[in-house]
Amino acid sequence: MTQTRFKPVEEQLAYLKKGAAEIIPEADLKAKLENSLKTGKPLRAYLGVDPTAPDIHLGHTVVLRKLKHFQDLGHTAIFLIGDFSAMIGDPTGQSETRPPLTREQVDANAKTYLAQVFKLLDPQKTEVRYNSEWLDKLSSYDVVRLCGHYRLARMLEREDFRSRLLNNQPISVHELLYPLLTAYDAVVLKSDVEIGATEQKFNLLVHRDIQREYGLPSEVALTMPILVGLDGQRKMSKTLGNYIGITESPTDIFGKLMSIPDELMWTYYDLVTDRTPEEIAVLKKEVSSGAAHPMDAKMRLAQEVISGFHGEEAARKAAENFQRVFRDRQAPTEVELQRIPRGPAKKLATLLAELKLAPSKSEAGRLIEQGGVEIDGVRVDDPRKDIDLSKSAEFLLRVGKKKFLRILVE
């Protein structure tokens, strides 16, 4: 059996610490890496994800990228799909009991996860597991035995449970089981390292304790920060609408990344690219000194993110399209074509509302009066302007900065 050749421990540590919030305990990770280097045996690092929704956004990739870092270094990356635990529902951060998902919902979501995950991880080198493999098989005796390894008082120290108790909000018993059952994942996987977001810290610490109770060495818990969303204030979330889906078009991803506050881009560089801290520091210094423009640095960020999910060519095209539309104020190279039948003339405001380029005629009128509408590159500021639809014609409508529509009258 050929031993894996690993990089020096300090070099591995520096790579793994990039962007990390906490490594609990760091000394254990160093010791495990030293032993791995000595024996040639890779560490078993895992990330558990409950498929509670079908799509992955950029915030989810922060922990996924850290798992990739272990894979890059030659260690075993385990992507665990919590198809059993998703039916319980992780109580982390919840102010009330989460309604359980059905097996059908979970299975449907899980199917779409892997295609997205493998945009980052190497499918040939990733160990994919489902925790229903073992949790489905636990007997009543096994569950009781598992519960006997943890104290209720410690479980209730958890911030969200404590808050709900203080506010007289209910806590269901199955929610108390969640961290114990997911701890059993760590027992079965015999993991050396587990990766999770900072909000998962309590669960990860329970997992360490339960591994020890089952006679195994405790894994290292590596937590990653929560990615702030496009609004620059709250965590990235589909519910809040401040997210970037990794399956969105390169053009949409580029536009969304260009909309984040300038200061936030350094966090994004740290958490969603593989740039080293030294490279990020140099770029940040160039921007602060005026040697580089913040927009150029942000464009580089957008290209790097898109390259990882859609390839370098798609990233290049998205950058060129942004340059045309927002810097050179030209139409994008690909514009949606809308065919409309010939007929009587229509007021511009009416036409915009009918084409859904504005939510209403009055809103369309306001946009026109504010100078936000162009026809074939010429600004129009009269909402009552008649648009001749009586003969075949083609023209380009621009509404605001981002909406373009090529109209074909036929």
Residue 40, Ramachandran bin (φ over 0: left; ψ between -120 and 50: alpha; else beta): left
Domain 337-409 has CATH 3.30.420.140: no
Give the model confidence (pLDDT) of 79-120 as tens digits: 999 989 887 766 655 545 556 678 888 888 888 888 889 999
In angstroms, the Cα distances linking 176 to 89, 110, 158, 172 are 11, 24, 10, 7
Q: Is the pLDDT of residue 136 over 80?
A: yes
Q: Where are the domains of the chain?
A: 9-224, 250-327, 337-409
Per the listing, tokens 């979501």 go with 109
> Which tens digits make up the pLDDT trace of 216-244?
999 999 999 999 999 888 999 887 888 99
Question: Any idea what the Cα angle at residue 256 is, between residues 252 and 259, rounded to 5°?
Answer: 145
Given a contact cutoff of 8 angstroms between Cβ atoms, the answer to whether 16 and 86 are in contact is no
pLDDT digit string (tens) for 7-64? 999 999 999 999 999 999 999 999 999 999 999 999 999 999 988 777 789 999 999 9
pLDDT in tens, 41-50: 999 999 999 8
In whole angstroms, what is the distance from residue 58 CA to residue 265 CA?
13
Q: What is the pLDDT of residue 333?
A: 57
Give the percent of the chain with pLDDT over 90.
50
Task: Assess whether pLDDT exceeds 70 at residue 215.
Answer: yes
3-state secondary structure of 167: coil
**Please, are residues 346 and 386 in contact by the beta-carbon 8 Å criterion?**
yes
Architecture of domain 9-224: 3-Layer(aba) Sandwich (3.40)
pLDDT over threshold 50, residue 383 = yes
CA dihedral 10, 15, 21, 23 (to 10 degrees): -40
Residue 207 in tokens: 């997992």
**Token couple for 297:** 């640095």
Confidence band for 335, pLDDT divided at 50, 70 and 90: low
The CA distance from 397 to 92, in Å, is 47
250-327: CATH topology is Tyrosyl-Transfer RNA Synthetase (1.10.240)
